Amino acid sequence: MSAKKKALFLLPKKEQNKEKKYRGIVLDQPDLDPFFAYRPEEIDDPGEFEVVVSFFYPWFYELLPEMKRLQWIHFLSAGVDRLWDWELENKGYIFSKSSGVHAQPISDHVMAMALYFSRRLGEFYRQQKKREWNRHPLGELYGMSMGILGMGAIGRACAQKARAFEMRVIGTANRPREMEGIDYCGGPDMIDRVLQESDYLVIALPLTEKTRGLIGEKEIAKMKKNAVIINIARGEIIVEPALIKALQDGRIRGAGLDVFAEEPLPEESPLWEMENVLITPHIAGSTPYYMERALKIFLNNWQAFRANHPLPTGVDLERGY
């Protein structure tokens, strides 16, 4: 590449400066000419940009017909299921995502939810509000099995932290493989084994046509009665009515849920009132370091792009993530 490629960075809280940095990350790279914008009226000529770095802003989608030189879109989110709503897969663009940006905060969240159930923190908080002093037998994470569906960056980070608690870690990936620190990792056809052996089942899969509704009544019926489901991926992966019924019937011990089929979770949902459910409002990935990490992932992809190499976090249109 000789001439610098013009890149449009659609970033919140515009922070332009002469060094063309954003939160300390230098974006003025060899062969890359960055321009920062937060609103469409800040962009004089959308047609001059060859690269866009953005979240899924609806107004960005509306600009696309004017972006005649656009080659590559890097999304600042790790999940790209909304890409198919945009109907862009046949327009010849290259796509990449910020896969791995959530690994640290979400794996923290998963372990916090596991500890919440293991140490019965919900019960103690309810007692505290009533000024009650009742002691209960508690569990440990030591020796328990954490099953992880989806061994991507988040799944691997969860596995590493579970191993620090001396848990047994099993899971599934898109193909069977041996992974350091993981006792067993099978392919998608081995999900039943993971369901049957898990004390804590973590959903860390992308939402695709294959994973939508993956965990339903039949799958939950294969789980241990003392098992806890933790979902930090997408709500649609679990058949929510089946999960609610299993929780109501005591078929499983509990659920830590950060994502739901409908968000915000409707006020009439029975999940709100269940003492064996911990609800957080799709916030597991929240971190003060988000943008720094996401932009470093972009720069890693940029180095591959300028060298005509496969993008490290490219979107696979056939697999749907």
Q: Quote the pLDDT of residue 1.
A: 46
Give the residue-averaged pLDDT of 313-318. Answer: 92
Q: Is the pLDDT of residue 103 over 80?
A: yes
Strand order in 184-186's β-sheet? Answer: 184-186, 168-172, 145-149, 200-203, 228-231, 254-257, 277-279
When pLDDT is cut at 50, 70 and 90, the band that residue 91 belongs to is confident
Give the residue among 200, 160, 154 at the shortest CA–CA distance from 173.
154
Q: Give backbone dihedrals phi and psi of 278, rounded to 5 degrees, phi first.
A: -110, 120
For every residue of 139-165, DSSP letters joined together read: --STTPEEEEE--SHHHHHHHHHHHHT
Percent of the chain with pLDDT over 70: 97
Domains with residue ranges and CATH for the chain = 5-101+288-306 (3.40.50.720), 103-279 (3.40.50.720)
CB-based contacts of 89: which residues, under 8 Å, 6+ apart?
Answer: 83, 317
When pLDDT is cut at 50, 70 and 90, the band that residue 13 belongs to is confident
Active centre residues (catalytic): 234, 263, 282
pTM across the whole model:
0.93
Q: Which residue stretches of 144-274 are H helix?
A: 153-164, 191-197, 217-221, 240-248
